[in-house]
Structure 1
């Protein structure tokens, strides 16, 4: 049985179609990420699942119930907002109990639930404080505690970590992941942060302009993007896009790569049938920074190229080096001890086994 099923959902404001026929389905216990740039429609879709926005067309099912036109209180959902949305005049305990009181849960049961939730989220010492006495991370824990107290069918998170500093965001991300793994809850989580999407989700829906561009497991989307938008959005640093000239030599498609005074021709050994149509034409090579490293032990499907270093950015566990290949800036990920200097040549190794290709006009993946 599905936990959530969305069928051909549309949202129309006047003459503007904000959501253009969204279809997706997740199973009980799955963690779904809705990710995309600002204005893509992800928060609108979440609000429609919650019942905070009316549906223009289509249907929403939670479990086996059609909840398309039900009030939020009747949908068996709990929502955690970006702004925490805590009652400032209530203590932490009262904030967690509030929904239980509205549903007329017995006091003894309320106490058990508050004890369980506060222990789970490690907020027991905070129960008698008010929100103004809490840090941002503590407030977000309380907001999560209030949602958990309800024990709903689905939890909805609307960019819950965007107000936190970088260190606290990483910590809270880990706590949400642990909570999901421990409790087996079904979660729909909105973010514009692709690192959150990759680390948290079981499945990801990448959205753009009111449409789902790709839906699937995080690693599959990262390794097999359908178009340049997805390839550029998922990954930090972004995938490199290098314009190339393709040609067919002895029945094999080759591409030309050039940096400084060096030019090499690289045969494409992957079985990509669509490349045949690009012989003697331009094509876009998509290659991740971690697929361009300092030269060392040769790999079966690799290309060597000496490149002029333009920028060096140490990050600790590795170093990002910017070079120029075929006239475009290209980011490489090298070992932090590798010797590199600005304006000096660096021998680099391009792993061609996982590269992808895109049509320069449509930006669609070549298969």
Structure 2
């Protein structure tokens, strides 16, 4: 069984608390992403799961078994780093089988496992080559093959794609996802890349300052961020944050959006009406993603504002349009056919049904 439980785990280095009571539960076969900026503690946590770093407080359980006092070789894990750590003097086949040799797996079985793994990763034609004769992507596959050959209950990946170019990162991301679907093994994967996090994981733990800010599915974290940090970190382009004020009109709450000397009032949608009722007349921060502001399909005064375009960024399928609202640059995602030149104005439709609201002072989500 490859389940993982992390219970109130803490880590202190030279008086600095690096991990501040981490609690996570990963089911057998799940793909967990640990994501966050550099220095947030994600790689330290992975090292503690692997047994490379001792746990100062709390418990780590793999398959229901407490492993705090077990060495890496006794935890039934395989770890893959951003450096491939291949043996340069060994062939691809020997690199894959070396761990099996150490465990004294009989030679016929080793050869069968190596061939099976190589076929899965489509490197069976490279088995006689040395690492120096391989491309970066091929070396990555060999490193993955070495981990797979051990058939561990838990795979640990520490930013394995960070050394690859953009195109190869996309290819290897798909390869890792296919591998997980085929094998169904539990994977714990560390990255600072939110696109990797969104596309690969069944669950995501967003970390900052040694704490888990939010734990959930990729879509839930994207749609329902717990605070401004999560909302800003997850999503590309990032969420727009607009400082505004809640105003009541005709028994409904709305937000005021000002641009080029004219004001627009737009009603708060859905349950946010009730959640924000006590904040009428108070400042609030509106969080709205670029895809929720697009070219107007209908002239609805409650959701459409005509705004002057400051800048455009064509991306192919979409054009990012930059406008100014309440003194902030706001990014909108529109179809290229509807984009206008900088300096011109265009009607933009705001979908506040998926907007979120944050307390300006604390950054915590309030609706």
TM range (shorter): over 0.9
Q: Secondary structure at the match of 1:115?
A: helix
Tell me, yes or no, if the aligned pair for 2:18 and 2:41 is still in contact at 8 Å. Answer: yes
In the other structure, the counterpart of 2:292 is: 291
Q: Secondary structure at the match of 1:353?
A: helix
The Cα offsets for residues 42-68 of structure 1, whole Å up to 9 and x where unpaired, read as 000000000011111111000021111
Q: Within 1, Cα distance between the matches of 2:2 and 2:116?
A: 28
Q: Within 2, Cα distance between the matches of 1:297 and 1:162?
A: 44
Pair 1:334-2:308 in alignment: no
Pair 1:19-2:19 in alignment: yes
In the other structure, the counterpart of 2:137 is: 137
In the other structure, the counterpart of 1:152 is: 152
Q: Report 1:101-180 matches (<5 A).
A: 101-180=101-180
Tell me, yes or no, if the aligned pair for 1:302 and 1:352 is still in contact at 8 Å. Answer: no
Q: Please report the TM-score for the alignment, with normalisation by the length of structure 2.
A: 0.97
- The alpha-carbon deviation at position 14 of structure 1 amounts to 2.2
Q: Within 1, Cα distance between the matches of 2:154 and 2:269?
A: 46
- Structure 1 stretches lacking a partner, 5+ long: none
Tell me, yes or no, if the aligned pair for 1:222 and 1:231 is still in contact at 8 Å. Answer: yes
Q: Within 2, Cα distance between the matches of 1:329 and 1:269?
A: 23
* Closer/same/farther in 2, CA of residues 104 and 231 from structure 1, 3 Å limit: same
- The alpha-carbon deviation at position 246 of structure 1 amounts to 1.1
The Cα offsets for residues 286-319 of structure 1, whole Å up to 9 and x where unpaired, read as 00000000111468x9611111111111111111
Q: Within 2, Cα distance between the matches of 1:121 and 1:195?
A: 23
Tell me, yes or no, if the aligned pair for 1:11 and 1:55 is still in contact at 8 Å. Answer: yes
Q: Within 1, Cα distance between the matches of 2:91 and 2:140?
A: 14
In the other structure, the counterpart of 1:194 is: 194
Pair 1:255-2:255 in alignment: yes
- The alpha-carbon deviation at position 339 of structure 1 amounts to 3.3
Count of matched residue pairs:
366
Q: Within 2, Cα distance between the matches of 1:228 and 1:86?
A: 41
In the other structure, the counterpart of 1:77 is: 77
- The alpha-carbon deviation at position 352 of structure 1 amounts to 0.9
* Closer/same/farther in 2, CA of residues 116 and 365 from structure 1, 3 Å limit: same
- The alpha-carbon deviation at position 344 of structure 1 amounts to 1.1
The Cα offsets for residues 189-238 of structure 1, whole Å up to 9 and x where unpaired, read as 00000000000000000000000000000000000001000000000000
Q: Report 1:161-240 matches (<5 A).
A: 161-240=161-240
Q: Within 1, Cα distance between the matches of 2:85 and 2:2?
A: 29
In the other structure, the counterpart of 2:281 is: 280
In the other structure, the counterpart of 2:87 is: 87
In the other structure, the counterpart of 1:360 is: 360
Q: Within 2, Cα distance between the matches of 1:360 and 1:144?
A: 45
Tell me, yes or no, if the aligned pair for 1:259 and 1:305 is still in contact at 8 Å. Answer: no
Tell me, yes or no, if the aligned pair for 1:259 and 1:306 is still in contact at 8 Å. Answer: no
Q: Please report the TM-score for the alignment, with normalisation by the length of structure 1.
A: 0.97
Q: Within 1, Cα distance between the matches of 2:46 and 2:307?
A: 46
Tell me, yes or no, if the aligned pair for 2:265 and 2:302 is still in contact at 8 Å. Answer: no
In the other structure, the counterpart of 2:35 is: 35
- The alpha-carbon deviation at position 187 of structure 1 amounts to 0.2
Q: Within 2, Cα distance between the matches of 1:28 and 1:280?
A: 49
Q: Secondary structure at the match of 2:303?
A: strand
- The alpha-carbon deviation at position 251 of structure 1 amounts to 2.9
Most deviating of 211-220 and 268-277 = 268-277
